[in-house]
Chain A
Amino acid sequence: MAVTARLEPDALDPAAELARFQRGRTADGAIVSFTGLVRAEGGGVEALVLDAYPALTERSLDDIGQAVAAAAAAPDAGPITDVLIVHRTGTIPAGDPVVFVAVAAPHRRAAFLAADQLMDRLKTEAALWKSELTPSGPRRIEPTRRDHADRARWSD
């Protein structure tokens, strides 16, 4: 089981990441992926700015991947083979991808659950600091009550 987690300071290409992740797999029957995009909020958000503390941030992504791959997400879900997390940093315009996760597993239940859990954990445990660039200036963004509730769905 391998976790690959990396920061991407330039453009993130989900289609290319997925194609690379899929290549050569013969033992896995399932790949589930998720792409997070920057929402424009009707023009209220021009871009996201994501700041990283590189070694801390990369380790936090890897820790999340390892925790999700090891977790028994559901009793009969089965194992995970590989996890990929790619997270943008820097200034990301509305409409662009900011995060991509993919999970490969022999069977789909584990892959669906793991992708869901990866995103719920990334929201509060990825060592990144987020601001929105708006027409009236930058706005610091921190996790919402919903983000914390989503994280609490998954017992450790």
Chain B
Amino acid sequence: MTRVLFFGRPADALGAETTLEIPPSGLTVAEVRATLAARSPEHAAALCAPDIRAAVNVRTVADDAHVPADAEVAFFSPFSGG
């Protein structure tokens, strides 16, 4: 099972984390996003906004990035520090 973490608006809607079964060959970030979005309308609304980005193994990546089966994935809304 792959661990998926949420931060910011996705966490407000979906909680801090969930798990996902990823095939041994892996998926793209876009495919992970779509798989999670299919779980419910709340998932789709939280994850498919254009400003929701992803990290794979704690590095921010684009939507076409590869997600290995044993990776840690995160989806998050814009940063706000300071």
Contacts and interface: CB of A to CB of B under 8 A. Distances in A.
Contact of A128 (B5, B9, B74, B79): B79
B12 A128 contact: no
B79 A126 contact: yes
B11 interface: yes
A125 B79 contact: yes
Interface string B51-79: 00001001110000000000000101111
B80 A128 contact: yes
Contact of A122 (B55, B60, B82): B82
A129 interface: yes
A146 B81 CA distance: 14
B8 interface: yes
Contact of A140 (B9, B74, B82): B9
Contacts of B76: 53, 127, 129
A140 B81 contact: no
A119 interface: yes
A119 B8 CA distance: 21
A130 B81 contact: yes
A107 interface: no
A51 B5 contact: no
Contact of B81 (A53, A55, A59, A127): A127
Contacts of A36: 82
Interface in A51-84: 51, 53, 55-56, 59-60
Interface of B: 5, 7-9, 11-12, 55, 58-60, 74, 76-82
Interface of A: 36, 50-51, 53, 55-56, 59-60, 87, 98-99, 119, 122-130, 140-143
